[in-house]
Amino acid sequence: MNLKIGIIGLPNAGKSTLFNALLKKQVADVAAYPFCTIEPNVGVVAVPDERLLRLAQITKLEEHMNELPPIVPAVVEFVDIAGLVAGASKGEGLGNKFLSHIREVDLICHVVRNFVDPSVVHVAGEINPLRDKDIIETELILADLQTLEKQQEPFGYQQHKPQPDRSTKEDFERFDLVVKLRSELNNGRSVREIITDEFEQEMVRDLHLLSMKPTLFVINVNEEELSTKNNTNNPIIPMTNENTLVICAKTEAELVSLTPEEQKEYLTALGVKASGLDLLIQKAYQMLGLISFLTTGVIEARAWTIVTGTKAPQAAGTIHTDFEKKFIKADCVSYTDFINPSGLASPKPSEGGWKKSRELGKVRQEGREYSMRDGDVVEFKIGA
Ligand SMILES: Nc1nc2c(ncn2[C@@H]2O[C@H](COP(=O)(O)OP(=O)(O)O)[C@@H](O)[C@H]2O)c(=O)[nH]1
Ligand SMILES: [Mg+2]
């Protein structure tokens, strides 16, 4: 299951800089795994997960291997979507073609320019992140309005009477929602803000509304501003909430070509703790409601992506489609227990593993109704 994240924003916001940094980091971090640029603007990026190295170390000892088994992280796909400008919904710039690319993504990563650099022109004049954010959001909202205008009124809607074989009560309820959305979108609100109810989201899911997609705002600041992002004079503060990340794309691009030690020094000099790319990927993953279960063995130590709430047989099905049907049970142990079944203060890799976890009663046998938890280390038992 590859989830797609679309990077959008006004021209010169730093989208491609960010996209290229993500891909470059990829190559530097996990050269062994065949990550690739699918098309010039599409790339597969690993979700950083420190747990995998530990699992690989444990398996190497437990299975008497000479080398660590390969580490296979969960991945997400990033798409650099250029061409969105004011008027795109009316065909300006690259217009509708690009809106349709946005329709295909699961999450929008909206890069907003807050860096000042006289050598990089800004289409909208002076730097103003709140205005820029609204320009893009307005285009998405206008595109959604066009989609909603095309929705036909169900037969008998005016008379509040479903017509046998032609319309149902459900059609009416759905159209009520369409009418509500039309009016609220006209007031400049996004579908995301209007519909928070999952049932209602489901009713209009097939319309692939752009402003309904979960959106992560990435504020691209000057390097110096990274460590002063809590400065109350900063105009971007009203925008910062749990779905916002402040980064400097240029710094990220420079960081990826340094050694890990150099990166640490660089970040310390800037007064920040961690690189923004890892945070970005992890945040996107969380916003999509995704969790990982883990498997480890001589073949690989691997993270598998599932949606929160996925039951054990369906989780098995992500490994191999047959596994869902032939599912018998799942041996599960939490990552924390797996690496440290005896609850030591600072466990070594030799203190973890399947054997010790079983001996110490940490392994649960779960059936078809079990909802997987993030970090479950799993062995599926599959029938013939
Ligand atoms: N000073 C500065 N320049 C940046 C930053 N991010 C991107 N740029 C520059 O802005 C220009 C446009 O960036 P690009 O990533 O191509 O923007 P896009 O049009 O959104 O893809 C390039 O010259 C980048 O080097 C940043 O954080 N600080
Ligand atoms: Mg670009």
Ligand 2 ion: residues within 5 Å (CB): 15-16, 82
Which ligand has the nearest atom to the CA of 221?
A: 1
Asked whether residue 160 is domain-assigned, the answer is: no
How far is ligand 1, taken at its centre, from the CA of residue 121, in Å?
10
Domain with 327 in it = 309-382
- Other C-beta atoms closer than 10 Å to the C-beta of 123 total 14
> Could you identify the atom of ligand 1 that is nearest to the CA of residue 80?
21
Asked whether residue 363 is domain-assigned, the answer is: yes
Query: What is the distance between the alpha carbons of residues 75 and 44, in angstroms, rounded to a whole number?
Result: 6
Asked whether residue 27 is domain-assigned, the answer is: no
What pLDDT, on a 0 to 100 scale, did the predictor assign at position 95? Answer: 61
Domain count for the chain:
1
What pLDDT, on a 0 to 100 scale, did the predictor assign at position 178? Answer: 97
Asked whether residue 336 is domain-assigned, the answer is: yes
pTM metric for this prediction = 0.85
CATH number for the domain that contains residue 365: 3.10.20.30
Query: What is the distance between the alpha carbons of residues 47 and 38, in angstroms, rounded to a whole number?
Result: 17
Looking only at the bridges linking them, the beta strands covering 3-8 and 107-113 are parallel
> Could you identify the atom of ligand 1 that is nearest to the CA of residue 248?
27
What pLDDT, on a 0 to 100 scale, did the predictor assign at position 117? Answer: 87
Q: Distance between alpha carbon 77 and the CA centroid of its chain, in Å?
A: 9
Backbone φ and ψ of 144, nearest 5°: -65, -40
Per-residue HEC secondary structure of 31-47 comes to CCCCCCEEECCEEEEEC
Which ligand has the nearest atom to the CA of 13?
A: 1
Asked whether residue 223 is domain-assigned, the answer is: no
Per-residue HEC secondary structure of 270-285 comes to HCCCCCHHHHHHHHHH
CA-to-CA separations, 108 to 44, 92, 105, 136, 234, in angstroms, rounded: 16, 21, 7, 12, 24
Query: What is the distance between the alpha carbons of residues 375 and 164, in angstroms, rounded to a whole number?
Result: 50
Asked whether residue 104 is domain-assigned, the answer is: no
How far is ligand 2, taken at its centre, from the CA of residue 11, in Å?
7
Please give all residues whose beta carbon lies within 6 A of any atom in ligand 1, as ranges: 9, 11-17, 115, 117, 120, 220, 222, 248-250
- pLDDT tens, per residue, the chain with 384 residues: 578 999 999 989 999 999 999 888 776 555 444 444 556 788 888 888 889 999 999 999 999 999 999 999 988 889 998 877 777 777 666 566 778 889 999 999 999 999 888 888 887 788 888 889 999 999 999 999 999 999 999 999 999 999 998 999 999 999 999 999 999 999 999 999 999 888 999 999 999 999 999 999 999 988 877 776 544 445 554 555 678 888 999 999 998 888 888 988 988 888 777 778 888 988 888 888 899 999 999 999 999 999 999 999 999 999 999 999 999 999 999 999 999 999 999 999 999 999 999 999 999 999 999 999 999 999 999 998
> Could you identify the atom of ligand 1 that is nearest to the CA of residue 249?
27
Asked whether residue 378 is domain-assigned, the answer is: yes
